[in-house]
């Protein structure tokens, strides 16, 4: 088995990174405007290295389902319940989950839809304002909650070290990918 396969994870990057055609590895375009899906190898000290075409070819030659393994690796790296903070309504129902982890893979955890659906059985939406932080929140918000979301997006996108997207998405926008031929 290839030694790096246990360290591969999915990551979101600005689509501008891949649109020029010079991206060095596999990626997929998403329905989430301005966001693309790529894959990275987690190195020590919470650093990552993007998967290169050469590594992708090695995995595929070895018939490794590396995309499935990447999601499995992410799930194994994630605590249960998923999230680093939760806001609750007066009735005890969660309405917002923060995904901001020391490993910088918070937005990637939006791909853990089964886990997030447990928080939001009536549906949810997501934001990825910064490349190291994301939020999932209930589909139906009261005006105060909606203002909180708008403020989180504004603060994290405009002041973030690595802005990603100021848009609000349906979870399926992050799952609907068009793979780009990379070999």
Q: What average pLDDT does the segment 8-36 reach?
A: 92
* Residue 134 to residue 121: CA distance in whole angstroms: 19
Neighbours of 133 (CB within 10 A): 21
Q: For residue 94, give the H/E element and its range.
A: strand 94-99
pTM of the model: 0.91
Digit-coded pLDDT (tens) for 61-91:
999 999 999 999 999 999 888 888 999 999 9
Give the whole-angstrom CA distance, residue 34 versus residue 152. 18
Q: Is 90 exposed, middle or buried, given 0-12, 13-18 or 19+ CB atoms closer than 10 A?
A: exposed
Q: Are 38 and 182 in contact (CB under 8 A)?
A: no
- Interval 126-140: pLDDT, tens: 999 999 999 999 999
Identify the pLDDT of residue 11.
96
Number of alpha carbons in the 13 Å side-chain half-sphere of residue 5: 16
Lowest average pLDDT, out of 5-9, 19-23, 51-55, 148-152, goes to 19-23
Average pLDDT, the chain: 91
| H helices present in 24-65, as ranges | 53-61
Q: What is the mean pLDDT of residues 101-125?
A: 93
pLDDT band at 178 (very low <50, low <70, confident <90, very high): low
């Amino acid at each position: 088995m290839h030694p790096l396969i246990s360290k591969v994870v999915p990551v979101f990057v600005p689509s501008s990174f891949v649109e020029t055609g010079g991206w060095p590895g596999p990626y997929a375009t998403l329905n989430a405007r301005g966001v693309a899906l790529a894959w990275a190898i987690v190195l020590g000290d919470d650093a990552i290295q993007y998967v290169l075409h050469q590594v992708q070819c090695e995995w595929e030659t070895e018939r490794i389902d590396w995309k499935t393994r990447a999601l499995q690796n992410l799930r194994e790296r994630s605590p249960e319940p998923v999230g680093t903070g939760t806001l609750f309504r007066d009735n005890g129902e969660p309405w917002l989950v923060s995904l901001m982890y020391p490993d910088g893979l918070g937005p990637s955890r939006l791909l853990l839809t089964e886990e997030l659906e447990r928080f939001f059985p009536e549906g949810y939406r997501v934001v990825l304002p910064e490349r190291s932080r994301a939020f999932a929140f209930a589909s139906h918000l009261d005006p105060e909650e909606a203002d909180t979301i708008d403020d989180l997006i504004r603060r994290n996108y405009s002041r973030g070290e690595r802005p990603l997207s100021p848009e609000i998405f349906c979870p399926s926008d992050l799952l609907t990918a068009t793979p780009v031929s990379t070999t």
